[in-house]
A and B are shown apart, each in its own frame.
Chain A
Amino acid sequence: MKLIVLTFSLLCINLAVSQDMLIEAEGFEDKGGWVVDPQFVEQMGSPYLLAHGMGVPVENAKTRVIFNKDGEYKVWVRTKNWVPGNWEPPGKFQLKINNKVLQSILGQRSGWGWELAGTVSIRKKKNSVELVDLTGFNGRIDAIYFTTSDAEPPSSMKKLATWRKTVTQEPLAPNITKKFDLVVVGGGIAGCAASIAAAEQGLNVALIHDRPVLGGNASSEIRVHTLGIYGHFERILKKLDTEHYPNGSPEAYKDQEKRDNNVKSYKNISLFLNWRAYDAKAIENRINYVDARQTASGERIRFEAPLFIDSTGDGWIGYWAGAEFTYGRESVDKYGEHWEEHGELWSPKQPDNAVMGSSVLWRSYEAEGNENFPEVPWAMPVARDYAKVKGEWQWEFSRNDLNQIDDAEEIRDHMLRAIYGSFANAKKQAENANRKLEWVSYLVGKRESRRLVGDYIFTLNDAKSGEKFHDAVVMETREVDVHYQTVLEDEKNPDFISEALFYKTPKYYIPYRSLYSKNISNLFMAGRNFSTSHVGLGGPRVMRTTGQMGAAVGFAASLCKKYEVDPRDIYTGYLDEYLTLIENQKYTPIPDSKQ
């Protein structure tokens, strides 16, 4: 077994020379039942390990650590109590070092920061560290810090990043640089379709995705089924989409295998699974590179390319590169998206920062015999008296003090409280005596966050009119549906349940101009972060449609390469050739091997 590579440094603190060692939890050799959660890196600083045991403590995570120097080490753990309040913290755990449990119970402090686990006496080179979960309810640990000094490591986010770099002696830039024709970030259906389209046209593509499996919300980790039509891209999208099973169904595994195999079958797609992009550098409105990090090992790579596609759903690449973006609801008058019937719920007179919410899907099953579920007092303020044994798409949370990106961890955690609390309530009913939780996602499925601005902003009116733009590349027949939280109409409703408002439209089209950035010259976008208004997103956010967007920009990228031009130039100078290329996709037969 390969030993974890640890950086070991000498820091001068209080003029005394101290020994320090930082172990990233996500780098543990054997994660046991703990899972790597890289969703909130931008907010709390790092991927972390999560004890997602649905109420049953998970297996210990283990790793070996090499110490260069014996000594008495203080052991700090970066963690947080994810539901502070007048109850026992839900996610408690302990540390075991060289088979001895340190007495402190961890996971008790409010807000991410350091807790002292204890002091250990290190007398040998090779040492073992284990994480002992005590509750199964989402205890979390970012890192372990061994130090011979008395100083507490910094908790504030401002100081933490610099501190981390110093401790780990990390160079400013990644050591490795890789060059591609096209770099696609985010492997949802949009990113996968883009990669395939470009690869089929001969481009050398890097697809960077922060999960072990492809598909984003459609993956077996989130389990939303794909809706929408195929447009011109049936052949490609059938390699990626799902059957129409209920959201949350384990049937998602079958489609997962199909999708992963299909993408992997392209030799010229370099797949970077479990890699998360963390920066994009633009000079004079042109992205030069994207930097990404392996979510467990922390290894870094710089990706250079003339063209980039942002299919992260959250518009991260655009955001880092300085692309114009919008968030929230426009005023009803901005684009004239009025709908009398649902008035302010549909589109408000004054703009605001409300958006459609995020979901955590879950289900339970009938076990053979009686199944206990623990009391979860920390979940009750959210669940109140709501009692359910499974959750569908309506389990959705959005509130105007929470940003779907910056506060995603709180949103996910709120949903976990809603789920555990509602299930605990249901378990009190006699008919649910045998019910057992089968699956609760720990990934938050998002619907709406940043929308990057393109040369054209797609709105409800384009869906209503069905205008066939001269640069139409995506088409859809699905109604526009916009969600709202039912608590806005009645405070007695749970705050985590939404309702959908459907606006029937004719077949409508999305122009190519909505799929590249207005101000970053070599950036395409595909997926829910395309150029649209809040209401406009209501229709084409579904995943066959976002897949069409992906395929459309993948083909556009191939022409960019052919003529060495930027995305906008395809619109201004090569539109006919581009549209013909897309049109021809309809006639390209599906090879047997790919069906």
Chain B
Amino acid sequence: MLFVGLGLWWSEIGILPRVVNSQDETLDKRPDYFAMEWEEGTLLTKKQTPFFIEVETMGNQSISLLTDENNRPRLYTADIVTPVCADGECRLMYLTLYWNLLGGYVGFDKVEGQELTKHDHEEFTDPDYEKLHQLLLDDNSILKRKKIDELVERPATSEADGVDATSGATIAEVKESVVDGALYSCFVAWNIAHGEVKRELLDNTAGLFNLEMKHYMLNSNDVDYQMYALKSFEEGDFIAFKERIVEMFRESIPLIRTYIVQNLPELFWRSDSLQIPFWESFDAIDINNRSLLLNHLETAPKEVLLSLSANMGLMTKNQLKTYLMGVEDLVKENSLLAKELDSFAHSKSNTYAYIVEEFLEDLE
């Protein structure tokens, strides 16, 4: 249940909301503000779901599932009309919201003829809408932890500019993320987009989850989809999808890479051909994931130990130490490697040349 305002009941102020006719039973264009990819020619069709958002005085606003031509679930959507009340004055806010299959907010459409307005009755500009969109995309927004009155009242501190916790969260911090002069609208919209509905939609998707959806999510650029698909993996899936996994390991965000390298079945570290593609990504990935990869140095094939020497310049101090420990025996028998270490140690441009130098000294 969501109601924000100063105790004014909608019916009491005598404005009747415009009826939003869910005239559009299909969606064939990219929503005005949208965080996902949209392929030209996509045609999504609305299907009823049992879910709705309850808005006080406005009744239930139902949520639909949008499916593609092959009847595959792709998005959820709802036409929202909700009162926004501030300083004794209420207005209606119209928005068509979109959620992805995990219940995460992904975008909105403006409702024709119903521009959002600010406290001074000015209409939202394009940058305002964009800011609203960015705010709604932030599922960890400061709005999440605050009641509306906490957001408008100045905290007692003199120059509060951010703290390491909730109490005394600052106007400054809020200001940065909300549309100027439209705190209430932003607050209401955020709470609708991130309300109970999130959980319900996610549960609904879980019930629909199948192999097709696993493929779809795994191949998506959306990192939440990627993670969801990965988390559904059985051991065999890592093999079945191994090309895509390597690709994600190279190209996705650090968090996804970490999940992959940390959860690859033992089998991968026992097989040269299965693990080599991951090592080959060493130069393309972030520092944290390089460390996690280096944890597997002990089971890495010799050719990997050798080829990694080309990447010593990318390693942090501790990573380099780990690597050197890993090749301690190899370097004694492999003169090529020894030579490479030696030239690294004597190059002026390597920050950690001295680490290799000390290592070589200790070897002697």
Q: Residues on A close to B: CB < 8 A?
A: 84-86, 109-111, 156, 224-225, 227, 244-247, 249, 340-345, 348-350, 352, 354, 390, 392-394, 399-402, 407, 410, 478-479, 481, 487-491, 495, 499-502, 504, 542
- Give Cα A499–Cα B258 distance, bound, in whole angstroms: 18
Q: A422 CB to closest chain B CB, in angstroms?
A: 16
Judged by a CB distance under 8 angstroms, whether B262 is at the interface is yes
List, in ascending order, chain B residues with CB within 8 A of A392's CB. Answer: 161-163
Judged by a CB distance under 8 angstroms, whether B148 is at the interface is no
- Give Cα A479–Cα B255 distance, bound, in whole angstroms: 25
- Give Cα A341–Cα B165 distance, bound, in whole angstroms: 19
B255 close to A488 (CB less than 8 A): yes
User: Known contacts A344-B255, A399-B288, A487-B286; is A86 also within 8 Å of B318 by CB?
Assistant: no
List, in ascending order, chain A residues with CB within 8 A of B287's CB. Answer: 399, 401, 495
Known contacts A84-B351, A479-B166, A487-B254; 18 additional CB pairs below 8 A are A84-B352, A110-B351, A244-B163, A245-B159, A246-B159, A343-B231, A348-B258, A349-B259, A352-B262, A393-B162, A393-B163, A393-B164, A394-B162, A400-B292, A479-B145, A481-B166, A488-B253, A502-B166
29 contacts across the A-B interface (CB closer than 8 A): A84-B354, A86-B349, A109-B354, A110-B354, A111-B355, A244-B157, A244-B167, A244-B168, A349-B259, A352-B292, A393-B162, A393-B163, A394-B162, A399-B287, A400-B291, A400-B292, A401-B288, A401-B317, A401-B318, A402-B318, A479-B166, A481-B166, A487-B254, A487-B286, A490-B253, A502-B144, A502-B145, A542-B164, A542-B165
List, in ascending order, chain A residues with CB within 8 A of B290's CB. Answer: 401
List, in ascending order, chain B residues with CB within 8 A of A109's CB. Answer: 354
List, in ascending order, chain B residues with CB within 8 A of A489's CB. Answer: 223, 253-255
- Secondary structure at the A interface, as helix, strand, loop or mixed, is loop
Closest-by-CB residue of B relative to A113 is: B354
- Give Cα A246–Cα B158 distance, bound, in whole angstroms: 8
Q: B237 CB to closest chain A CB, in angstroms?
A: 15
List, in ascending order, chain B residues with CB within 8 A of A501's CB. Answer: 140
A491 close to B167 (CB less than 8 A): no
- Give Cα A342–Cα B224 distance, bound, in whole angstroms: 10
Q: Contact mask B132-166 → A, CB, 8 Å, 1/0?
A: 00000001100011000000000011111111111
B353 close to A247 (CB less than 8 A): no
- Give Cα A499–Cα B173 distance, bound, in whole angstroms: 13
Q: B193 CB to closest chain A CB, in angstroms?
A: 14
List, in ascending order, chain B residues with CB within 8 A of A400's CB. Answer: 288, 291-292
User: Known contacts A344-B227, A479-B166; is A111 also within 8 Å of B354 by CB?
Assistant: yes
- Give Cα A542–Cα B202 distance, bound, in whole angstroms: 34
User: Known contacts A401-B316, A401-B318, A490-B253; is A245 also within 8 Å of B139 by CB?
Assistant: no
A246 close to B349 (CB less than 8 A): no
Q: A564 CB to closest chain B CB, in angstroms?
A: 41
- Give Cα A84–Cα B351 distance, bound, in whole angstroms: 5
A246 close to B162 (CB less than 8 A): yes
Q: B156 CB to closest chain A CB, in angstroms?
A: 7
List, in ascending order, chain B residues with CB within 8 A of A491's CB. Answer: 253-254, 286
Contact pick for A341, options B139, B158, B168, B349, CB 8 Å: B139
B318 close to A246 (CB less than 8 A): no
Considering only residues 312-358 of chain B, those with a C-beta below 8 Å from chain A are: 316-319, 349, 351-355, 358
Closest-by-CB residue of B relative to A352 is: B262
Contact pick for A85, options B162, B291, B351, CB 8 Å: B351
- Give Cα A405–Cα B287 distance, bound, in whole angstroms: 19
Closest-by-CB residue of B relative to A504 is: B145
Contact pick for A349, options B254, B263, B316, CB 8 Å: B263
Q: Contact mask B235-264 → A, CB, 8 Å, 1/0?
A: 000000000000000000111001100110
A479 close to B165 (CB less than 8 A): yes
List, in ascending order, chain B residues with CB within 8 A of A401's CB. Answer: 287-288, 290-291, 316-319
Q: B27 CB to closest chain A CB, in angstroms?
A: 27
Q: A579 CB to closest chain B CB, in angstroms?
A: 29
User: Known contacts A349-B263, A401-B318; is A247 also within 8 Å of B255 by CB?
Assistant: no
- Give Cα A501–Cα B139 distance, bound, in whole angstroms: 10
A345 close to B162 (CB less than 8 A): no
Closest-by-CB residue of B relative to A541 is: B164
B317 close to A410 (CB less than 8 A): yes
Closest-by-CB residue of B relative to A348 is: B262
List, in ascending order, chain B residues with CB within 8 A of A246's CB. Answer: 157, 159-163
User: Known contacts A401-B316, A502-B145; is A224 also within 8 Å of B164 by CB?
Assistant: yes
- Give Cα A574–Cα B98 distance, bound, in whole angstroms: 60
Closest-by-CB residue of B relative to A350 is: B262
B165 close to A488 (CB less than 8 A): no
Q: B302 CB to closest chain A CB, in angstroms?
A: 24
Q: B258 CB to closest chain A CB, in angstroms?
A: 7
List, in ascending order, chain B residues with CB within 8 A of A343's CB. Answer: 227, 231
List, in ascending order, chain A residues with CB within 8 A of B362's CB. Answer: 156
Candidate in A246, A350, A495 with the most chain B CB atoms within 10 angstroms: A246
List, in ascending order, chain A residues with CB within 8 A of B291's CB. Answer: 399-401
- Give Cα A343–Cα B157 distance, bound, in whole angstroms: 34
- Give Cα A284–Cα B297 distance, bound, in whole angstroms: 38
B156 close to A244 (CB less than 8 A): yes
Closest-by-CB residue of B relative to A393 is: B164
List, in ascending order, chain B residues with CB within 8 A of A402's CB. Answer: 316, 318
- Give Cα A399–Cα B254 distance, bound, in whole angstroms: 12
List, in ascending order, chain A residues with CB within 8 A of B353's CB. Answer: 110
Q: A114 CB to closest chain B CB, in angstroms?
A: 13
Q: Contact mask B22-59 → A, CB, 8 Å, 1/0?
A: 00000000000000000000000000000000000000
List, in ascending order, chain A residues with CB within 8 A of B354's CB. Answer: 84, 109-111
- Give Cα A244–Cα B169 distance, bound, in whole angstroms: 11
Q: A357 CB to closest chain B CB, in angstroms?
A: 12
Candidate in A341, A349, A400, A479 with the most chain B CB atoms within 10 angstroms: A400
A245 close to B157 (CB less than 8 A): yes
User: Known contacts A244-B167, A341-B139, A399-B287; is A156 also within 8 Å of B358 by CB?
Assistant: yes
A481 close to B161 (CB less than 8 A): no
Q: B172 CB to closest chain A CB, in angstroms?
A: 10
Closest-by-CB residue of B relative to A251 is: B158
Q: A5 CB to closest chain B CB, in angstroms?
A: 33
Q: A342 CB to closest chain B CB, in angstroms?
A: 8
List, in ascending order, chain A residues with CB within 8 A of B231's CB. Answer: 343, 349
B167 close to A227 (CB less than 8 A): yes
A247 close to B263 (CB less than 8 A): no
- Give Cα A349–Cα B259 distance, bound, in whole angstroms: 8
List, in ascending order, chain A residues with CB within 8 A of B156's CB. Answer: 244
Closest-by-CB residue of B relative to A403 is: B318
Q: B196 CB to closest chain A CB, in angstroms?
A: 13
List, in ascending order, chain A residues with CB within 8 A of B161's CB. Answer: 246, 390, 392
User: Known contacts A111-B355, A487-B254; is A247 also within 8 Å of B286 by CB?
Assistant: no
B164 close to A227 (CB less than 8 A): yes
- Shortest beta-carbon contacts, A-B, top 9: A393-B164, A350-B262, A110-B354, A401-B291, A392-B162, A401-B318, A488-B254, A84-B351, A111-B354
